[in-house]
Amino acid sequence: MSIQVLLADDQALVRGALAALLSLEHDIEVVAEVGRGDEVLEQVRAKGVDVALLDIEMPGMSGIDTAALLREQAPTCRSLVVTTFGRAGYLRRALEAGASGFVVKDTPAGELAEAVRRVHAGLRVVDPTLATESLLDGASPLTDREREVLAEALSGAPVATIAARVHLSAGTVRNHLSSAIGKTGTTNRVEAARLAHDNGWL
Amino acid sequence: MSIQVLLADDQALVRGALAALLSLEHDIEVVAEVGRGDEVLEQVRAKGVDVALLDIEMPGMSGIDTAALLREQAPTCRSLVVTTFGRAGYLRRALEAGASGFVVKDTPAGELAEAVRRVHAGLRVVDPTLATESLLDGASPLTDREREVLAEALSGAPVATIAARVHLSAGTVRNHLSSAIGKTGTTNRVEAARLAHDNGWL
DNA sequence: ACCTCCCCATGACACCTGTCACCCCCTCCC
DNA sequence: GGGAGGGGGTGACAGGTGTCATGGGGAGGT
């Protein structure tokens, strides 16, 4: 019995290309493709998927949240997160969410099939270049509120707008921003938001 | 004689997957793969490439600049730009640079081979969803200086830092920023920079 | 009970930003 | 020649921003 695989990626071309790549392997069969995170569970149940390849940045539901959902609702299906960005915090959050593997998109193509087999066998697969870096500084120093406020600041909105969106006073928002700026070692909210985003903290 | 194709994309996994996808076609042969824009020309000359698939965001040299280089240095090789982002300005700039085609990565996988064939036949291939939108408002309203200053502002640097980097007085930088904010209909530099970036103006 | 940490909030202060008026230069074009 | 437009610059002003001191409240650990 070959390994039943689901592909979740918002870019149809990448999805189709990965399907072609994996279909070259005799022991792997791509049985489902979806472009949104919130369509994964339904397909996993319907097709009896063994391994779900999840992109992180998808409409509907992120790959990380999807992995957590699968762990609860479909524990026989293992998750392999395949993402564009090798952000330290992503790996940590993916593993915490119950993903069995984490592969960056610039790994050699030949290794993907091997990663799928390992995950299916119950092993963990972690991109080696990230493993060391991540577990050291991957933890976010930000509190929940700081994270929330920074995420809003990413778009460049002024304090008043942010305050309205998170239902806080303008002064409190500025305090959170100031705290986040201090923790990230930056000099203003924009730099802080970028750094936090690049580290996968948002 | 089958069509000789080169793949240029900084993500090895995507590159390998696209190679697998295109290799399913009997009349297409992937003869070269590179991960950097500045390695394309060399490979095109060495392998006698007919069609170069170029990602835009690559280290070394952007896909757009690479297309322009190929037009000059290897006019028998046609360029097909394949990119993640459907930004209006990208299409316009790609076509101005001499690319024969422009495809977004979330087009159906099956259409890629057809796009390659059309480009090879000397036809233009343009993503239909972008064609209308792009040629209307794809032109940037920004002057060179405004573009330059906005690009620096993208990182969140304060005016003093930007002024030092572009060798202008702080006041002039603020004037350019103010002008750019006005033209983009935004309220501050961060929003203006994001909008300009998303439209491919930077 | 006590300490620590996070959360919410206010007021004050220095500084940064966005805008405007006004000046200069140069180039292109009618 | 004159006008339009881009570029570079200055000074001034209102308002936004970052920091700090100082409150109060609650959850968790010792």
What residue type is assigned to position A108 of the chain?
A: P
Residues B11 and B41 in one domain: yes
The CATH number given to whatever domain includes residue A121 is 3.40.50.2300
Residues A81 and A21 in one domain: yes
Residues A114 and A191 in one domain: no
Decide which of A86, A102, A135 is a domain's last residue. A135
DSSP state of B200: T
Residues B155 and B57 in one domain: no
The answer to whether the Cβ–Cβ distance between B155 and A16 falls below 8 Å is: no
Residues B124 and B46 in one domain: yes
**Cα B25 to Cα A146: distance, rounded to the nearest angstrom:** 51
The CATH number given to whatever domain includes residue B188 is 1.10.10.10
pLDDT of B64-80, one tens digit each? 888 888 888 888 888 88
Q: What is residue B86's predicted lDDT score, i.e. its pLDDT? A: 62
Decide which of A83, A105, A135 is a domain's last residue. A135
Helix (H/G/I), strand (E/B), else coil: B158: coil
ipTM: 0.64
Query: Hey, what's the torsion of the CAs at B194, B195, B196, B200, to 10 degrees?
Result: 100
Nearest nt to the CA of B157 via C1' is C16
DSSP state of B2: P
B-chain residues near A18 (CB < 8 A): 13, 17
Percent of chain A with pLDDT over 90: 11
Residues A148 and A115 in one domain: no
Q: What is residue B135's predicted lDDT score, i.e. its pLDDT? A: 42
Q: Is the CB of A187 under 7 A from strand D?
A: yes
Q: What is residue B146's predicted lDDT score, i.e. its pLDDT? A: 85
Whether residue A171 is predicted with pLDDT greater than 70 in this model: the reply is: yes
DSSP state of B39: G
Nearest nt to the CA of B188 via C1' is C18
Q: What is residue A136's predicted lDDT score, i.e. its pLDDT? A: 43
CA distances from A48 to A40, A67, A69, A125 (A): 12, 16, 16, 22
Structure tokens that stand for A19 in this block: 């399907």
**Cα A94 to Cα A80: distance, rounded to the nearest angstrom:** 9
Q: Which residue has the higher pLDDT, B107 or B47?
A: B47
Nearest nt to the CA of B176 via C1' is D7
Residues B129 and B172 in one domain: no
Q: Is the CB of A189 under 7 A from strand D?
A: yes
Alpha helices in A24-87 (DSSP H): 40-47, 63-73
CA distances from A26 to A4, A29, A111, A193, B9 (A): 12, 8, 15, 45, 27
Residues B48 and B21 in one domain: yes
pLDDT of B145-179, one tens digit each? 888 888 888 888 888 888 888 888 888 889 888 88
* DSSP one-letter string for A10-30: S-HHHHHHHHHHHHTSTTEEE
For residues B39-45, average pLDDT: 91
Residues B33 and B70 in one domain: yes
Window 51-90 of A: residues touching B by CB (8 A cutoff) are 82, 84
**Cα B60 to Cα B181: distance, rounded to the nearest angstrom:** 31
Q: Nucleotides of chain C within 7 Å of a protein C-beta? A: 6-12, 16-21
Percent of chain A with pLDDT over 70: 89
Q: Is the CB of B187 under 7 A from strand D?
A: no
pLDDT of A38-57, one tens digit each? 999 999 999 989 899 998 88
Terminal alpha carbon distance of chain A: 40
Whether residue B130 is predicted with pLDDT greater than 60 in this model: the reply is: no
What residue type is assigned to position A75 of the chain?
A: P
**Cα A71 to Cα B46: distance, rounded to the nearest angstrom:** 50
Residues A168 and A73 in one domain: no
Residues B93 and B179 in one domain: no
**Number of domain units in chain A:** 2
CA distances from B58 to A153, A159, A164, B40, B54 (A): 28, 35, 39, 11, 9
User: CA angle, A127 as apex, A121 and A128 as ends, to 5°?
Assistant: 110
Residues B98 and B174 in one domain: no
Whether residue B120 is predicted with pLDDT greater than 80 in this model: the reply is: yes
Question: What range defines the domain where residue B35 resides?
Answer: 3-137
Query: In the A/B pair of chains, how many CB contacts fall below 8 A?
Result: 107
CA distances from A127 to A63, A82, A100 (A): 17, 10, 12
Decide which of B102, B121, B137 is a domain's last residue. B137
Q: What is residue B87's predicted lDDT score, i.e. its pLDDT? A: 64
The answer to whether the Cβ–Cβ distance between B190 and A158 falls below 8 Å is: no
Average pLDDT, chain A: 82
Name the most confidently modeled range: B60-74, B80-94, B112-126: B60-74
pLDDT of A175-184, one tens digit each? 888 888 888 8
